[in-house]
Structures are given as structure tokens and as C-alpha cells.
Chain A
Amino acid sequence: MTSDNDRRRGLLARLRERPAARSRGRRRLGAAVRLIAALMLAGGAYTVFAPGAQAQDNPQLTGAAAEGKALFDVSCVTCHGRNAQGVEGRGPSLIGVGAASVEFQVSSGRMPLARQEAQAHRKPPVFTDEQTRQLAQYVQELGGGPVVPDGDDLREDGNIASGGELFRINCSQCHAFGGGGGALSSGKFAPSLHPATDRQIYAAMLSGPQNMPVFGDNQLRPEQKADIIAYIQETLKHDQDPGGFNLGRYGPSTEGLAIFLVGIVALVFASLWIAGKS
């Protein structure tokens, strides 16, 4: 007990004593030197890392990103502005959105946008896979951001049961139990998941496009994302609907329609027929 206390006291004492031991002049000199050194470090770091006026004219882009910039300057610059800085009231800045966002929006045909409206619709993509990669690389090199892992099959070893549970907790509120999508406020909507590829679902979870929340890797770990993708792709899309025609999987509203359009109509005709046989 005593030895422990002594050592601690000794250390504290030394720290306390040290400035008192140095003269006032030396202390001031030391402070000045440290200040100059810190200023030089900050300034040097700024000149190294900050994109200066020259950097805008002559960016240090890789080959793919340069190709992407060429595409961007033709197709995207109207709304997203020079260097993807965004245009007020037309399109947001893309700095920091990451390759995942570009990949989702461009590969699903949502970008380029057809017109300004509540939300972008899925269309046949305008750019090829290669061009999409180049655009994504360009935006990635502008400001970093989330990136979708490599490969087309992102559901390897995905556990469908756990994916189903995660889907019902995180996704079905908007995309509905069958993945067919649902309405949001003011004309916005959660789209159907049926045309989406593994990479698009993964990119959407990473980047949170349109009204979707971001599911970063700390909210849903990569293996949980794989589980969800496995559930969507293997159960929701390939479920054989053991009960017959699924009526669009819209829940009880189409079932109610069916009982009148099929059941009641058929039976009214049957009763016309039977009553006519007299």
C-alpha cells in the first residue's frame, strides 16, 4: 500500500515540480518555438491536402475517374453543378455521397432524372456498367464515401431466416411484407424490390437514396446485409406462392376486390341461371 502511494505521489510531484524548475525565459522561448512549429505543421498540411485553386483546374484523378468526369460534365452537370458541388434548387452536392450512391442511382436508371418530381422512378439505365463505374469512381475521388464491396453475388452464406427477421424489422414498414413497395407522404414512395439486383440493394442500404434511411455498417453489419439480400432475392422473389395466384401481394385490399369481382359476380350469374330455369 505504501509503495504504491509513494510512486504515485512521486510522479505527480515530478510533473508539478518540472515547470518550476525551468527559468521564465526558457519557458517563453520554448512556447514560441512550439507555436511556430505547430503553425508550420498546420500550414504545411493545408497546402498538401487542401484542394487549391490549381487543384480545381487540374485535379489529380485516376484514369477511370477522369473518364467519369467527362461523362459527368456532359450528363450530370446541369443539376449537380461544376465539380458536383450541387445547384441550389436543382440538385444536391455529390461530394461525400460515395460510389455506392452513384452506383444505385445510375445503374437503376433513376439518374439522369427525367424531370423534377417528388421522387425518381426506376428506368432503363442510360449508362453502361463500365460508364457507371467510371462515374462512381469520379464521385468517390471527389469526396470519399461508402463503397459497395466487389462482386455481383453479395448474398453468399446469407441466412434467410435471420434475413427475414431483419427484413420485417427494418424494411417491411415501407417496402411491405412482400417487397412490392408502398406509399410515403406527398407522392413519395418506397419502390418495389423485385427488379433490384444484389448490388443495388446493398448500395441502397449503404447510401440511403431518396427517402430511405441509411443503414450503415454499424446499424446492419455486412453479414446482416447479406442475410437481408438473401431473403429478398431467394424468398420474396422466388417464393412459389403455394396458395395460388398471389393477387399482387397487396394484402387484404385486393382480396376484398377479388371476392366481389370473382365470387359475387360468379354467384350472381349462377343465381340468374338457376332462377331462370323454372
Chain B
Amino acid sequence: MKRRKFDLAATPGKAAVGVDDRFAVATPLRKLLNKVFPDHWSFLLGEIALFSFVVLLLTGVFLTLFYEPAMTEVVYDGSYAPLQGTPMSAAYASSLDLSFDVRGGLVMRQMHHWAALLFMAAIVVHMLRVFFTGAFRKPRETNWIIGSLLFWVGFLAGFTGYSLPDDGLSGTGLRIASAIMLSIPVIGSWVTSSIFGGEFPGTIIISRFFIAHVLLIPGLLLALISVHLGLVFKQKHTQWPGPGRTNNNVVGERMFPRYALKQGGFFMVVFGVIALMGGLFQINPIWLFGPYEAWVVSAASQPDWYVMFLDGSTRLMPAWEINIPLGDGYVIPPLFWPTVVLPGILVGLSTMYPFLEARHLKDRKSHNLLERPRDAPARTAVGAMAVSFYVVLTLSGANDVIADKFQISLNAMTWAGRVGLLVVPPIAYYITYRLCLGLQQHDREVLAHGVETGIIRRMPDGQFVEVHQPLSAQNGHADGHGQLEYVGWVVPKKMNRLGALGPAIRGFFYPIEKPAEAPVSPGHPPVEARPEREEIGSGESRR
């Protein structure tokens, strides 16, 4: 019997043909694998959020293997001596066991928490990129709304996760959450008692938050992320304007193989950064907070950073209580405004922004090319206003820590926050607007006059003029203006960019190639050093 020769090189092709014969995937896959990604770095910010979500799923699954979502009281007898013999909930005891008695448990817990902070931070940074470059405009408004919802659902995921260890800090947060729910007029007490199963804290809240945290919210996040990415594939990426880039194409790299490989590498980098932070920086030391008891509240009890703006708005709110003389009297507590009304307004404004802007500008066109922040000064200034508003609130959320560590009066911090919340955003708007116009103006100047060379020429009549290197042929007028149009993209502003120096040496940290020797013109002898100059004097020494 003749043995057939095994052809290794043909195996993948054969296997692929086999798969395609059965599933007919070649056509859709070709389309998918040929999707083009623009190669600007700012398009990678959203991927940080995506990759940290993957890390969250992986570490979270590990944590559920050891965590016990129950509020039954147990007496701790694990290996952390300062809590031995302390009565606590089973949830807290199992979180302590995870930290001290499960091998690798603490680093997993810390990675999970850091990944959660990174997830939210990357969402915000990605959102800023999308906002400031105008990537949310038609046709991508839906994806902007989904992105905003991802932030708020992530917010819920973070809050439920923060509550699960049932330590002193998370119990304090839960108590505040119950107070916020109670402050809602009319339905507040029903909402609270149905969520907590009666009076705070009850015995069921940890189990309910657990199932929300490990099943419902991640499911929702996963669904939203899938639609978000699906829409990116369907609607294609936006891109910066530039040579060869129009509103109707996308210039960049194909998904397969280069972009997929790069993304695989970037996932490893994100995973590595989270693992490093989980191993190097201690986060949420639950063993120091102790078990939650209603009478235990520590100084510097703060929520995680993405909730801190709500803490700040609560700290800044004056104690304005509204008494409505209806029946037995009805009270709207001051807590209602900064913690229910304000986030409601923020959700509404942030999700509806694309429509507001389009309506204001009467802009019905589709935009696939991005705008530089300086080219949309009003939008950039509004964004700066929103960011400064958020930052003032977030700093106010930590105002006791700032007051203590920088030795400022806490009352002064509160008043600075109150005044700052109203004054800083308009100032930010004005300054940003002027900065954008100034940057635009400079670009236009360079396009008209050319790049500054740094050479000052003295004319025969004694006048000094600065020599510019024009970027295009002159228009023939005496003003020396070029004919380049302003297109909203990078303008070279230094002679180096025009090739006045030799080509830059390639390489990261060390050169990967030898720089070419500068060519020496054969007509000119090498320049010799200037002879030392000597002052001409009378010869007498003045000393």
C-alpha cells in the first residue's frame, strides 16, 4: 500500500476549505477580517476599557468561587489575628478568608478592584476623546448613548461590588445609598424597603447585590458592549482628516493580521498593568475597616472615584429643607437635590448631547471625519466646562482628606467648592474658547506666511525682517501669502518638520539603525575653527 505524503503546508488551507464547505463563512469572515482600523493612538483608549472588562470577568469568576453572599452572623477564626473572635457576617468573613487564607486570593481581589477603577477611568477617557473630536455626530449618536449608558451601568456594577465585602466602609456606603433612596419624594420609603427587604440593613441585601453584581449587571454590560462594538463595525470608524482621507473612506490597517496582533499585544499590556497594580498597590484594606456595624463610621469614608462626585455634591449642598404643609406635613430633604436630581440631569444632558448640538448648529449631515478640538471651539469649551464641573465635585468629595493633609480648613474647602462649582466652569469655558481660537489663528498664520526659520535679516536701510519659509508657491502679491487652505489638520510649525534636519533616528530608547552620514559637498573644504579673538589695546596692562 502506498502511503500518501503528508503535506504540512497545505493543511491550514485544506482545513479552512473544510470549514467553509460546512459553514459557508468565507464571505462574512473576509468582510470582518478586512475591517480597517485607523492607526491613531487615541482610538485605543476604548480598548483599555474593553480589556479591563475581560480582566474583571476573569478575576471576578475566581472571587465567586470563594465568596459567600450571606449575612448570617459568624465568629471569625481565620488567620488575621486582630479580628479573631469578632462576630461578623459570613460575607465579610469569606472576604477576609479570600484575602488571607486563599492562595493568591488577595492579589485577585486587588486586581479585580483595580480593573474596576481602570474600566471606569478608561470609559471616561475614551468618552472625552469621542466628545472632543466630534466622533459622536451623526450617524453615531446611538453609540454615544450606549457609551454613556455603559458608564452609568458600570457605576452600578462598581457600587454593588463595593458593598459586597460587607466591611465598615462598604456598609457606610450602603447606608448612604439607602438614605438617598429614602429622600425620593413619595416613593422613597417603598423603594428602600423593597430593595432592602424591610428596614436598613436587613438580612437580604448582600444576596441581592451579589446576584445583581455577578449576573444581571455584567449581563447588561456585556450586551451593551456587544452592541457598541457591533455598531462600530457596522458604521465603521471615524478618522482624522489628512492626505487621502475623505468622509467616505477609512484609511488604516486591516483587522487581520496586523491589527489583531497589535490588539493581542495591547491586551497583554493592559492585563500586565492591572496585575502590577494589583500586586504593588494595596487597595481597599477591608481588614482595617472591620465588620460593618451601624455605629462604626471611619473618617475619610469615600466611595470609589467615579462615585465621588456625588459625595462632593452632597457635601456642597446647603441644608435647604423644603417643608410642604400637606396632611401631617411633608419634607423634601436637601439630600434629594445633589444625589437624585443632579445625576438625573447629568444622565439626560450627557446622553442627549449629540442631538442638542446638531439642533443648535442645524447640522443634518453625516460626519465621518473628526474635528480637532481647536476647530470646534464652542464644543471644546462646553467639554472643558463639564470636565471642570465634574472635577470640582470630585475634589469636594475628598475635601476632608485634602483639608487634613494640606492643612486647610475644612470649612474653607467646602466654601471653595461651592463657589468653585459656579465660577470655575464659566472661566474654563472662556479660557478654552480663547485657546482654541488662538491655536487656529496660529495655524492660519503659518499657512499664509510659512514656517518661522529663526533667521532675522537686516535690510540695507537698516530694517530687520524675519525670514519665513513659505509652505506653498506665493500668490504673486506683495504680501507673500500662500495659497493653502485651512483644512483642520496638523500644520508644520518647525523647520525640522520640513526636513531642515536629517531624518530622525528610528528606535525606542536606543537607535535601531545607524544615522546616515551627512553628505559633504566636494566643492567646499571643511570649515576650520574660528581663530581665538584678541582685544586690541595699547599694550599696557590695566591691572
**Residues of A participating in the B interface, judged by any CB pair closer than 8 Å:** 118, 160-161, 164-165, 168-169, 172-178, 180-187, 189-190, 231, 235-236, 239, 241-247, 249-260, 262-264, 266-268, 270-278
Stretch of B114-122, B341-349, B468-476 on the interface side: B114-122
Contact in complex: A241, B300 (CB < 8 Å): no
Question: What string of 1s and 0s marks CB contacts (under 8 Å) between B400-419 and chain A?
Answer: 11111101111110000000
* Given A164-B83, A165-B86, A255-B288 contact (CB < 8 Å): no
**B266 and A271: CB pair below 8 A?**
yes
Residues of B within 8 Å of A186, CB to CB, are 409-411
**CA A176 – CA B297 in complex, angstroms?**
9
Within B110-128, which residues are at the interface with A (CB < 8 Å)? 110, 114, 117-118, 121-122, 125
Q: Are B106 and A176 in contact (CB under 8 A)?
A: no
Residues of B within 8 A of A244 (CB): 110, 279-282
Binds A, one of B41-49, B177-185, B525-533: B41-49
Question: In the complex, are the beta carbons of A176 and B41 less than 8 A apart?
Answer: no
Which residues of B are in contact with A by a Cβ distance under 8 Å?
A: 39-45, 47-48, 81-86, 99-100, 106, 110, 114, 117-118, 121-122, 125, 168-169, 253, 258, 262, 265-266, 269-270, 273-274, 277, 279-285, 288-290, 293, 295-306, 308, 394, 397-398, 400-405, 407-412, 508
B44 CB contact (under 8 Å) in A241, A246, A275: A275
State whether A262 and B281 are in contact (beta carbons under 8 Å apart), knowing that A177-B168, A270-B266, A277-B262 are contacts in the complex. yes
| Neighbour of B298 across the interface among A172, A236, A256, A270, CB < 8 A | A172
Find out whether the CB atom of B277 lies under 8 angstroms from the CB atom of A258: yes
Knowing A172-B299, A235-B82, say if A185 contacts B281 (CB, 8 Å): no
Residues on A with C-beta less than 8 A from B269 are: 267, 270, 274
Chain B residue contacts of A254, Cβ below 8 A: 401
Q: Which residue of A lies closest to B410 (CB)?
A: A183
Are B303 and A260 in contact (CB-based, < 8 A)?
no
Could you tell me if B110 and A243 are in contact, using CB atoms closer than 8 angstroms? yes
- B280 pairs with A182, CB closer than 8 A: no
Distance of A169 Cα from B297 Cα, bound (Å): 8
User: Whole-angstrom distance between the alpha carbons of A250 and B400 in the complex?
Assistant: 10
Q: Are A251 and B302 neighbours in the complex by a CB distance under 8 Å?
A: yes
A274 and B277 within 8 A (CB):
no
A165 to B398, CA, bound (A): 26
- Asked whether, in the complex, the Cβ of A181 is within 8 Å of the Cβ of B404, the reply is yes
Given known pairs A182-B299, A231-B82, A251-B302, the reply for A274 and B41 (CB within 8 Å) is: yes
One of B117, B304, B404 near A263 (C-beta < 8 A): B117
B106 touches A183 (CB 8 A): no
Q: What are 6 of the A-B contact pairs (CB < 8 Å)?
A: A165-B86, A243-B285, A244-B281, A262-B277, A274-B269, A275-B44
CB < 8 Å: which of A243, A256, A264 contacts B304?
A: A256
A residues less than 8 Å from B408 (CB atoms): 187
- How far does the Cβ of B311 sit from chain A's closest Cβ, in whole Å? 10
B299 touches A253 (CB 8 A): no
| A181→B412 CA distance, assembly (Å) | 19
Of the candidates A174, A255, A276, the one whose C-beta lies within 8 Å of that of B284 is: A255
A241-B305 CB under 8 A given contacts A160-B82, A186-B410, A273-B508: no
User: In the complex, are the beta carbons of A161 and B83 less than 8 A apart?
Assistant: yes
Chain A residues near B412 (CB-CB < 8 A): 187
Most buried by B among A252, A271, A276: A252
Q: B42 — which chain A residues lie within 8 A by C-beta?
A: 271
Docked pose: A239 CA to B287 CA in angstroms: 11
A243-B283, A252-B305 known; A267+B39 contact, CB < 8 A: no
CB distance from B247 to the nearest CB of A (A): 22
